[in-house]
Chain A
Amino acid sequence: MTALARGGHRATLRSRREARAAYLFLAPWFAGLLVITVGPILASLYLSFTDYSLLEEAKWVGWDNYVRMFTQDTRFLQSLQVTTVYVVVSVPLQLAFALLLALVLDRGLRGLSFYRSIFYLPSLLGGSVAIAILWRKVFGADGLVNAVLAVFGIEGTGWVGHPDYALGTLILLHVWTFGAPMIIFLAGLRQIPSSYYEAASVDGAGWLRQFRSITLPLLTPIIFFNLVLELIKSFQSFTQAFIVSNGQGGPADSTLFYTLYLYLQGFKRFDMGYAAAMAWVLLLIIAGLTGVNFLASKYWVFYGDTK
């Protein structure tokens, strides 16, 4: 009895010691959570109901910022539309390329790691200012694309300077970085047991049938994962639009990304209350989108183990 009690006592001592150690190891992370993440999130919620410019005291204005956003500010609505088009077009295109290349590269191909590296490189470089500068020149009036078109006798236009095409060049830039999701697809393809394909080909299933009945269903969790990740990421694109449009979102606001407009409002016009409100709308959009994604996933994502 006493031995048992002592044992239990020792166990609680030990677990208390362990918990104390854990919280010590986590101390920097907790501090960051408080000061860098949760504090600012709550502060920006408060600021979103104020008029604040860094120089004066914040003035409570209620829902004004939100009302202004959706009823009066056409540039805000434009930025929402531009970003939506960008996300809706570039993410599926990028993932389609990633999946296609992953399928081509999968198994039994010599030089796999070479190709994989080549296709992955743009993903590492794509977010940089240097590549955005390059893009601006590749699609400029006297840029590479037009020089190539001229070889075929086609006269191009200044793609980045044209309101109809500028966003298209940014979409292309996003598609160009398909390497990272491709690598995730490749890792997923490797998980599929080759015996499935053996059985299928014994039964006479052609490649299309195998793709539709084996590869695609077993890959849906990976497709879902990539989709969630890329949606969140592309909604926040900033650098490319900033550089290509010289920080303005032009021509004619055709590349005015949501985050770029937020930056202009918050840090050029110092309308920080409004920028904070925009930040919260962004958070809600991304959370909503991710939530819908998870709900919808029940209908198309196949988890082999749960059936």
Chain B
Amino acid sequence: MATPSRPVPVLFRQFRGGPLAKHALLIGFGLVMLYPLVWMISSSLKPEELIFREPGLWPSEFTLENYTEGWNALKHPFSYYLWNSAVVTVLSVVANLVACSLAAYAFARLNFPLKKLWFAVMLGTIMLPYHVTIVPQYIMFSKLDLINTIWPLVMPKVLATDAFFVFLMVQFIRTLPRELDEAAEIDGAGYWRIFMRVVMPLCLPALATTAIFTFIWTWNDFLSQLLYLNNPDNFTVPVALRTFLDASSDSSWGPMFAMSIVALGPIFGFFLAGQKYLIRGVATTGLK
């Protein structure tokens, strides 16, 4: 038998004769997967009464009514909740970038007593379920009178508790040549300068991955925002969407879909802009 010149170790080798069939299959599968999303977009552009009468994608009648209605359906215009979400998210990103890179540099480059132990502890906290700490954390923040502020959401990030990112950056820093640090040290640079001038600039890809993931996770995060933000004046997008669900009868799905799409917009944007970093990040550390 003819040995393939370039062996293709694929489960569906029999499709080699017809890669077209394989592409058709993949595209078909992709369409089924994305159909609900596209349906939501198209539904948001249809007049309310048409949404469930036609399952097709192309609206026979276009309208932006759902968007204007949804935007103003709650106590504040939706831009208000977008702004609240943006504040929490941006602060979380900055906090994660600073705190996690500081810790990662120490774990990756410096020697200190009990380093192995602390590193193992750090890895262990990645696996720790959030719910195990949630009750005492809530009690603590409520005793400190910090419910309905952004502190319970941002403080854990300021203190580098998102250990995923510490790990991600440790892995990345370890791939950088140590000679660079040593050269800087010979030039008289201290640890802080080496960190700021040598290591951080080379860490940009890892920092980008951290920033994008923190953004998406914080933007999507529901449980902690549900817990800590009870006043409609502090609501972020996920909590606002949730009250939408409570407040509206089952008939006003058009506006709800419209606002859901607004809520997914930034994630989609980051996905398009940062695919490279996202996929590399997932592949190297196995994040979500």
Contact of A259 among B131, B155, B159, B257 (CB under 8 A): B131
Contact-residue bracket for chain B: 35 or more
How far apart are the CA atoms of A18 and B111 in the complex, in Å? 7
Contact of B139 among A19, A54, A180, A286 (CB under 8 A): A54
A22 within 8 A of B: yes
0/1 interface trace, chain B 1-32, chain A, CB 8 Å (1 if under): 10110111111111000010011011001100
Contact-residue bracket for chain A: 35 or more
- Tell me the B31-62 residues at the A interface (CB within 8 Å): 33-37, 39-40, 52, 54-55
How far apart are the CA atoms of A109 and B12 in the complex, in Å? 11
How far apart are the CA atoms of A192 and B158 in the complex, in Å? 40
Question: What A residues does B261 contact at CB under 8 A?
Answer: 130
- Tell me the A184-227 residues at the B interface (CB within 8 Å): 184, 186-187, 192, 194, 196-198, 201-202, 204, 206-207, 210-211, 214-215, 225-226
Which one, A70-78, A84-92, A121-129, A297-305, is touching chain B?
Answer: A121-129
Question: What B residues does A37 contact at CB under 8 A?
Answer: 125, 128, 133, 161
Contact of B279 among A19, A140, A183, A233 (CB under 8 A): A183
- Tell me the B234-271 residues at the A interface (CB within 8 Å): 237-238, 241-242, 245-246, 250, 253, 256-257, 260-261, 263-264, 267-268, 271
Contact of B136 among A150, A276, A290 (CB under 8 A): A276
B186 within 8 A of A: no
Assess whether B138 is in contact with A267, with CB atoms less than 8 Å apart: yes
0/1 interface trace, chain A 24-39, chain B, CB 8 Å (1 if under): 0110110111011101
0/1 interface trace, chain A 127-146, chain B, CB 8 Å (1 if under): 11111011101101011100
Question: What B residues does A272 contact at CB under 8 A?
Answer: 135, 139
Contact of A263 among B127, B223, B253 (CB under 8 A): B223
Contact of A120 among B1, B220, B279 (CB under 8 A): B279
A49 within 8 A of B: no
How far apart are the CA atoms of A197 and B110 in the complex, in Å? 43
Closest residue of chain B to A106, judged by CB?
A: B10
Assess whether A44 is in contact with B286, with CB atoms less than 8 Å apart: no
In terms of DSSP, what is the predominant structure of the interface of chain B? helix
Question: What A residues does B238 contact at CB under 8 A?
Answer: 128-129, 239
Minimum Cβ distance to chain A for residue B117 (Å):
12
Minimum Cβ distance to chain B for residue A56 (Å):
12
A41 within 8 A of B: yes
Question: What A residues does B146 contact at CB under 8 A?
Answer: none
A176 within 8 A of B: yes
On whether A29 and B111 interact (CB within 8 A), knowing A119-B33, A204-B1, the answer reads no
Minimum Cβ distance to chain B for residue A154 (Å):
13
Closest residue of chain A to B8, judged by CB?
A: A108
Minimum Cβ distance to chain A for residue B164 (Å):
11
A12 within 8 A of B: no
On whether A130 and B245 interact (CB within 8 A), knowing A41-B132, A121-B271, A122-B33, the answer reads no
